Structure 1
Amino acid sequence: MLGQTTVPLVGLVDTAVIGATGDAAALAGVALGATVINLIFWTFGFLRMGMTGMTAQAAGAGDAPEVEALLLRGVAVGLVLGVVLFALQLLLIPLAFAALSGGGALDDAARAFVGARFIGAPAGLAVFAINGWLFGVGRTRAALALQIVMNVANIALDLMFVWHFDLGARGVGLGTSCAEWIALATGLLIVGRGIDWRRLGSAALFGGGALKRLFAVNADIMIRTIALLLLFVWFTNAGARLGTVPLAANHVLMQFVSVAAFVLDGFAFTAESRVGHAIGARSEAQMRRAIRLTGEFSLLAGLGFALLFFLAGGPLIDLLAANADVRTQARALLPFAAAIPLIGVPAWLLDGIFIGATRGRALRNAAIVATALYIVTDLLLRPFGSIGLWWAMLLGYAYRAGALGLYLPALLRGMKTAAPE
């Protein structure tokens, strides 16, 4: 949980540094640019999610060579995919912005941010794999250390590029990209010491259908991730359609949601690791215990975040945004952002359970259904402006939980039949 608390600090720092300038267009541009980056980079989020489930299952089965091979396989794939993204940015960036409602100074700031962020693509995707592997083997302190290094570097570099060199939105992107490369170097130092390199030849890493299995397991998770990313892109684009101030206000409030989601994902990651170990060990009792305990703690933490945001959200908004109009709009919509930590708990926890079980098909189908229902809901509520936008987002989390919850009985029945006598 401590490690996950630091993850959204990247977005928080980016928002606070550019928000302190009082430039609503620059803040909105970073919001739009961050949406583009999330859509493109987190398409490959299976490098984190799938890696955790596969590593935990291999560890639970006592297959140490496969645990180590998974790490190097994931890092190699992440670096290659990142290089491909960097090479294709001249094609990907125009395509992404063609689908979004921006224009003028807003687009200029967003494009500057996105172009700078692509410099960190190879490192960012490789760090996905390292984090997933660390969670899978239960090395959460190492994951915390890695995230702290990245965030300290991001804070220092953001301040230098934006406040000292006055690079605006581009400086925010450069700071984060450089921090990702520093995190990759740190991550490789952390995990490299425990690897037995003598037993990891190319055959162990990439032979015997290893890569085929990696992508087969994660193809459905990739589709699931794209579907959920489209949901958030739709939300951001709908805010951009309402104007610069609503978009900037939504971005500020989404930092609250991001903090709650990442911290509560600490319980979900625990579920991923514990459920994966239970399946590797073929233990139904371990699996039920993991679901019960993480569920109880998630519910309590979600309630705590909802109360915190509702009571202290106003001063936090003032801390993140200097523009008076943005502050007013964000305060008016604060109750919706405060409700999401509680409403989102079942969706985040069920994600962790099914990722740990590597049940990609259930994740894929539930995400597609939830995103489709969310879009229909948003269209129906569009006459209500920003209020309708946030109601649709709240219902989107409920749709995710409901669609995925339908698959839970089958997962438990499968463990019962697989459990040893």
Structure 2
Amino acid sequence: MSLAYPVYFELLSGVAAGIINMVWVARLGGEAVAAVAVATNVENLLLGVILVAGSGTTVLVARARGARDHRAMRSAVRGGWALWAILTPLVAVGGYLCREPLARLVLGGGDSAALPLATDYFAIALPGIAVYFATNVVDGILKGLGDTRTPMRLAMLANGLILVLDPLLILGFDLGVRGAAIATVLGRTAALACGCVALHRNDVLRRTVTRPMSRARSLGTDARRTAATGLPMSADFVARMAGSLALVAVVARIGVDEVAAYGIATKATYVATMAFYSVRQAAAIHTAHLLGTGRDERRAIGRQALLLAGALGLAAALALLATAPWIMRAFGSGGEAAEAGALHLRCLGPYLMLLACYIALGGVFEAGGAAPALARITTCGVATQLALAYALSGSGLPGVCGAMAASMALQCAAVARMYRRTGPGTGTKAKRAVDVVSRGSSTGCPASRSRPPGAGAPNRERG
């Protein structure tokens, strides 16, 4: 819980930044709102790209911290920044050059009045994605070091600056949607600067980076190792995001009011799902750190994550059951859309409870090296969800909710089978997870040089 709650408020701050922009841009008209809304959705998808570096760095740094292996930690940090240097130009420069076709694509084609506004927003936001990506790498390093509070404070700092700069730039200097993009980039730049200061002041990291550098050609090895660790986590996130977007097309077969209700309900459930993802990150950090020390506690951490996430899922389900109509009114919805949305929220309870357990337990598998299998389960589950939703869409939104719950039940069954096979002495996967650090970093340095004598030996014996 101590690791998870700062992550939760950090994720909430990310959503709040988009809400702040939307509130001030709404004064410019519906076209401006549409432009910023679609641009924000694109940014959420791009988050999956940098998760390769951020998540991979978190796991590898946490393992190295547990093993007290400075070379492995330096390798993990260098790998994260190397991936940032590779991915950022592709997204920032490529996105800027293709900003108008991208705006046309996300707006559904045509020559609507929102097209030039979205293009203007992309012209600033996409080059500024370099700052967003760098902040994610900084957060990943800090979380791997066991510090989840500093990323939370950095996110709140960025939001505070956006809250001040939005009215000044959007209305005061009459920059419109470009002012919203500039305010967002400036707020994140200030947070990034403070994050770099926090990294510089970290004693563990300072001892790591001041040691002699290894050969330059190992930088590619560092980047590949970080990518191999983070790519399955990124794929899992992107698959779930893409499935949520694709489900809109299925809901559209039911009616326009149902599409509006589904969209509002999805945003309302973010408050719950972000809590699940915070537990997932905490479980990944804790598991990776203990594996680095030679202790395979995945089953125990998995039980703790399931207990905490299950309680959060049950609380979310009960809250939606009791407050669904008021939630729809809070989003400004009325009439048939509000009724459909309230029904949808009340039917989401079983899905949310299953989703909470699946997401939280995923953190244990990510840290233990089983993330590729988890990504495959998620991808198959999303495909199954879409097929079931299409078949049950004749029953309206309750049928869609039933499809979501059934698909998630299948994914939970697959993950439960994986979970039963984890733990000390339960096979080669457990041994590989514990011995990752023992084999050393990309430089070939054994972890035993920086670990107390005999640490981790009992687990290797059982393996």
Q: Residues of 2 paired with 1:337 and 1:148: CA distance?
A: 30
The answer to which structure has the higher helix fraction is: 1
For 2:421, the equivalent position in structure 1 comes to: 410
- Structure 1: which 5+ runs fail to align? none
For 1:294, the equivalent position in structure 2 comes to: 305
Moved more, 312-321 or 189-198: 312-321
- Does residue 1:149 correspond to 2:157, yes or no? yes
CA change 1:386–1:175 in 2 (3 A) is farther
Moved more, 165-174 or 338-347: 165-174
- Does residue 1:8 correspond to 2:16, yes or no? no
Give deviations 1:318-377, integer Å, cap 9, x for gaps. Answer: 444478786565445332456554231122112211111132321231122112212212
For 1:117, the equivalent position in structure 2 comes to: 125
TM-score (norm 1): 0.83
Give deviations 1:109-142, integer Å, cap 9, x for gaps. Answer: 6555555431331111122222222222211222
Q: Residues of 2 paired with 1:102 and 1:327: CA distance?
A: 29
Q: Secondary structure at the match of 1:199?
A: coil
- Does residue 1:264 correspond to 2:276, yes or no? yes
CA change 1:99–1:243 in 2 (3 A) is farther
Indicate if the aligned counterparts of 1:3 and 1:147 stay in contact, CA closer than 8 A: no
Q: Secondary structure at the match of 1:411?
A: coil
Alignment match of 1:73 (pick from 79, 86, 90): 79
Q: Residues of 2 paired with 1:179 and 1:398: CA distance?
A: 41
- Whichever of the two has the greater Rg, that structure is 2
Q: Residues of 2 paired with 1:63 and 1:405: CA distance?
A: 33
Alignment of 1:225-374 (within 5 A): 225-236=237-248, 238=250, 249-284=261-296, 286-321=297-332, 330-336=341-347, 340-374=351-385
Q: Residues of 2 paired with 1:28 and 1:384: CA distance?
A: 30
Aligned residue-pair number:
420
Indicate if the aligned counterparts of 1:48 and 1:129 stay in contact, CA closer than 8 A: yes
Alignment of 1:76-91 (within 5 A): 76-89=82-95, 90-91=97-98
AA in 1 matched with 2:322: L
Alignment of 1:22-171 (within 5 A): 30-89=36-95, 90-91=97-98, 94=101, 98=105, 101=108, 104=112, 113-162=121-170, 171=179
Q: Residues of 2 paired with 1:265 and 1:343: CA distance?
A: 13
- Does residue 1:188 correspond to 2:196, yes or no? yes
More RCO (CA 8 Å, sep 6+):
1
CA change 1:144–1:19 in 2 (3 A) is closer
Indicate if the aligned counterparts of 2:325 and 2:339 stay in contact, CA closer than 8 A: no
1:87, CA displacement in angstroms? Answer: 0.9
Q: Give % identity.
A: 21
Moved more, 326-335 or 374-383: 326-335
Q: Residues of 2 paired with 1:244 and 1:108: CA distance?
A: 26
CA change 1:34–1:145 in 2 (3 A) is same
- Does residue 1:18 correspond to 2:22, yes or no? yes
CA change 1:110–1:95 in 2 (3 A) is closer
Moved more, 398-407 or 265-274: 398-407
Q: Residues of 2 paired with 1:161 and 1:169: CA distance?
A: 9
AA in 2 matched with 1:299: G
CA change 1:211–1:34 in 2 (3 A) is same
CA change 1:115–1:207 in 2 (3 A) is closer
CA change 1:94–1:159 in 2 (3 A) is same
CA change 1:24–1:95 in 2 (3 A) is closer
Indicate if the aligned counterparts of 1:347 and 1:398 stay in contact, CA closer than 8 A: no
1:190, CA displacement in angstroms? Answer: 1.1
AA in 2 matched with 1:192: H
CA change 1:158–1:208 in 2 (3 A) is closer
- Structure 2: which 5+ runs fail to align? 435-458
CA change 1:138–1:283 in 2 (3 A) is same
Indicate if the aligned counterparts of 2:18 and 2:40 stay in contact, CA closer than 8 A: no
Q: Secondary structure at the match of 2:215?
A: helix
TM-score (norm 2): 0.77
| RMSD between aligned residues | 3.6
CA change 1:13–1:146 in 2 (3 A) is closer
CA change 1:338–1:58 in 2 (3 A) is same
